[in-house]
Amino acid sequence: MNASEQLFQRALQIIPGGVNSPVRAFRSVGGTPFFTQSANGARLTTADGQELVDFVLTWGPAIHGHNDPDIRQAIKEALERGTSFGTPNPLEVEMAEMILQCVPAIKKVRMTNSGTEATMSAIRLARGYTGRSKIIKFSGCYHGHVDSLLVKAGSGALTQGNPDSAGVTAGTAADTLVAEYNNLPALAEIFAANAGAIAGVIVEPYPANVGLILPDEGFLAGLRELCTKHGTVLIFDEVMTGFRLSLAGTQGLHAVVPDLVCLGKIIGGGLPVGAFGGKVEIMDKLAPLGPVYQAGTLSGNPLAMAAGLAAVRKLQKQNPYGRLNALGQRVRDTLLSAAKAKGIPLQVPQVGSMFSLFFNEQKVRNYDQAIASNGDHYRKLFRYALDHGVYLAPSPYETAFLSTAHEGVDIDRACTVLDAAVRSL
């Protein structure tokens, strides 16, 4: 056995499935996961010394590539002052000011330690603010492992074949209504059937946990209109797309203003983080001001704040979004031309530095179409790419990410491999 296999055998004895997060287990793509020893730029180095061009980027945070020197320096400087205080600290004020500067919908914000905490808190806040119970989510969207949102969820839940997790009680699930993404008429019917009872709608504006699905023209605006009409809190879960698609996240691409926004990943620069924010009259319902309780020992942790501030300040300075979109288009065009040459039906939805692959004749607009795509082709492509030094997400129900560190030799190398991978199918 090689080093990763030995590590995995040890892990399997003491960590459920050998992993601390299910999607890492390679269960849907076969084989056993490699263990990462180190990461730099666009590359991971495995415990066996193999270098891989990384399109997972720790599931989104590493938009500057791994081990970015500016982020590393910021953490080092913060570390000299201690790791955690349990009191307010200057960096969390700077982080809040920066988030408000970048994200138009956010007028007050609270930090958490994960995206899950952010979405969990946002739906509790929507319920506390409206006094209503029901929440609408969309099939295939994943908002972290929140009980009430593990209903028809994507990402690892879907990958493991249990989009409706065990352990979520019928009572909890009863207050979660599931709608179809990109289907406004069906959503309007759910609102009509539950008049006055919908506290909030939570949506990934660009669903990226079922592969990547792009919003139809007018869908997000229609969503906004329905929520406004029914007095329902519109929550954009931008844990993944926040600071990824633009400094304003989805709001940099669409003139749609949600009531609450959830953030994570990039704003932690690779350290544990989440945040939620939005309208003042909603956020002021939070303890200690209002009746909605929410808390966290390490919320606003100075190391995570330092790393996140460095990551976002670098985005503000570089404004790399045009470059990242060009990288995304190059990968998309490489994959589509190889599939055309091979005569294989392939969709490659792409927005900025995010893309995914659906082996499907038609454009994928919702969950049912996503899961009807050819998973075997994806698994074969994943394996070919990995064997040739390129790491894609170990599930067809995820999204690939690019970083500025991919520019140059790594994107050239990766496109050559991805082209050959499609042609090998």
Residues forming the active site: 142, 237, 265
Region binding ligand KE4 by CB under 6 A among candidate stretches 40-48, 115-123, 286-294, 320-328: 115-123
Is residue 112 within the footprint of ligand KE4 (CB under 6 A)?
no
Residue 408 CB, nearest distance to ligand KE4 (Å)?
A: 27
| Site membership for ligand KE4, residue 54 (CB under 6 A) | no
* 3-state SS, residue 375: helix
Closer of 334 and 366 to ligand KE4 (Cβ): 366
Across the beta sheet with 354-355, the strand order is 350-351, 354-355, 400-401
In terms of CB distance, is 211 or 328 closer to ligand KE4? Answer: 211
Q: Which two tokens stand for residue 37?
A: 């020893």
Distance CA 292, CA 179 (A): 26
Among 11, 23, 292, 385, binds ligand KE4 (CB under 6 A): 23
Binding test (CB under 6 A) with ligand KE4, winner from 4, 46, 114, 373:
114
Residues 6 or more apart in contact with residue 48 via CB below 8 angstroms: 2, 3, 4, 34
- Tally of CB atoms within 10 A around 90: 10
386 binds ligand KE4 (CB under 6 A): no
- Helix and strand counts by DSSP (H, E) for the chain: 14, 14
Restricting to residues 260-319, which ones interact with ligand KE4 according to CB under 6 A? 264, 274
**Minimum CB–partner distance for residue 195 and ligand KE4 (Å):** 29
Give the residue, chosen from 66, 143, 314, 377, that forms a contact with ligand KE4 under the rule CB under 6 A: 143
Which two three-digit tokens encode residue 341?
């040459």
Chain positions 71 to 110 lying near ligand KE4, rule: CB under 6 A, are: none
DSSP-assigned letter for residue 207: -
Among positions 155, 176, 246, 299, the unique one binding ligand KE4 when judged by CB under 6 A: 155
Q: Which of 52, 98, 120, 239 is in the footprint of ligand KE4 by CB under 6 A?
A: 239
Does position 413 interact with ligand KE4 (CB under 6 A)? The reply is no
Q: Report the distance separating Cα 32 and Cα 20, nearest Å.
A: 14
Task: Supply the minimum distance, in Å, between the C-beta of residue 409 and ligand KE4.
Answer: 27
Distance CA 367, CA 324 (A): 26
Q: Least distance (Å) from ligand KE4 to the CB of residue 347?
A: 19
If binding means CB under 6 A, how many residues of this protein chain bind ligand KE4?
20
Figure out which of the listed residues 156, 211, 320, 396 binds ligand KE4, where binding follows CB under 6 A: 156
In degrees and rounded to multiples of 5, residue 360 shows phi and psi of -155, 145
Strands 134-138 and 198-203: parallel
Q: What is the DSSP letter of 259?
A: S
- The first and second tokens of residue 83, run together, are 């790791």
Choice between 323 and 379, CB closer to ligand KE4? 379
Indicate the Cα dihedral angle 400, 369, 122, 148, nearest 10°: -120
Binding site for ligand KE4 (CB under 6 A): 21, 23, 59, 114-116, 119, 142-144, 155-156, 204, 209, 237, 239-240, 264, 274, 398
